Amino acid sequence: MPELPDVEGFRRVLTQCGKGRTVEDVEVRDAGVLRGVTGKKLRQELKGKRLGTAWRHGKWLFVPVEEDGPTLAFHFGMTGSLRCCSPDEPPETHDRISITLDGGQELRYCDQRKLQGVRLCDDAEIEHMVNDLGPDARAVPRAEFEELLSTRRGAVKSALMDQSVIAGLGNLLCDEILWRARVHPRTPARDLDARALRGLHTRMGRVLDTSVRAGCVPPRRSWLTGHRDESDGVCPRCGQSLRSSRVSGRRTVWCPGCQN
DNA sequence: CGTATAACCTGCGTGC
DNA sequence: TGCACGCAGGTTATAC
């Protein structure tokens, strides 16, 4: 599930629940989500420490521990989430880490599939991680967006999906953006003219704005996303039958009528 | 440089 | 009811 809009929602959860709070306890219910850190170490580094201002880049969520401490980094894979709970709420099946804060609330990192996880990073590691990512999709200016795509030989969808090009777009967002811009997902990125690139950037901005507000890519009937799970989906714009195939290994839905 | 594939891990729906 | 299989909004290593 989590693409940029979802992670932005988790950032708000972390801000509202955790900002300025002191960690009272850390319970690792499944160490399978820990990456490069042991439960013991995580607990030791967090307990009694105050959480700073959460920030996001692409699909990564970060929160600094104290002013000069390490940074807690979350990635949500395909099934992760972060909730703010009261301690008497029974844990969900896939709640993996629970962080108890002063003031009585708990942050719970939940993830069914454990494809990604939680790590504890120093400043150099954070810098390295962010350097490997392209600019955040929500903040990339049009000129830079056009430049990043204009040199790519491969399918435009592959470029949009590549986190080292632009950070934050996932499978649903890419299909939605391409559909709105009337661009076929397999079009070589560098074949797009200035007008098409401008259109893509504009659509990306609009799709992101709405999705961030919703906390997900909303499956509205007027959106492509609202039809992609139907076996006989129809384009809500032109009525043609939607097509589906694989582009760079991911299921890709598009409208043969609108997207050439 | 690019693409495709499998792998990581779990659960759900489908068809036999 | 059981079981094999394919599939899922992500990332990474590896082979071509």
In terms of Cα–Cα distance, which of A45, A48, A43 is closest to A102?
A48
Contacts of A90 (CB under 8 A, 6+ apart): none
Distance (Å) from CA A187 to C1' C14? 26
Q: Give the residue extent of every domain in chain A.
A: 4-131, 142-254
Name the catalytic one among A11, A21, A59, A157. A59
pLDDT of residue A137: 97
pLDDT of residue A1: 72
**DSSP state letter for A193:** -
Is residue A230 among the annotated active site residues? Answer: no
Name the catalytic one among A3, A8, A45, A176. A3
pLDDT of residue A150: 94
pLDDT of residue A260: 85
pLDDT of residue A232: 86
Class of domain A142-254: mainly alpha
**Cβ A71 vs Cβ A123: under 8 Å:** yes
- CATH of segment(s) A4-131: 3.20.190.10
Footprint of strand B on the protein (CB under 7 A): A 32, 93-94, 112-115, 151-155, 158, 246-249
Do A4-131 and A142-254 come out as alike in CATH topology?
no
- Which residue ranges in chain A fall short of pLDDT 50? none
Distance (Å) from CA A192 to C1' C10? 27
- pLDDT tens for each residue of A79-107: 999 999 999 999 999 999 999 999 999 99
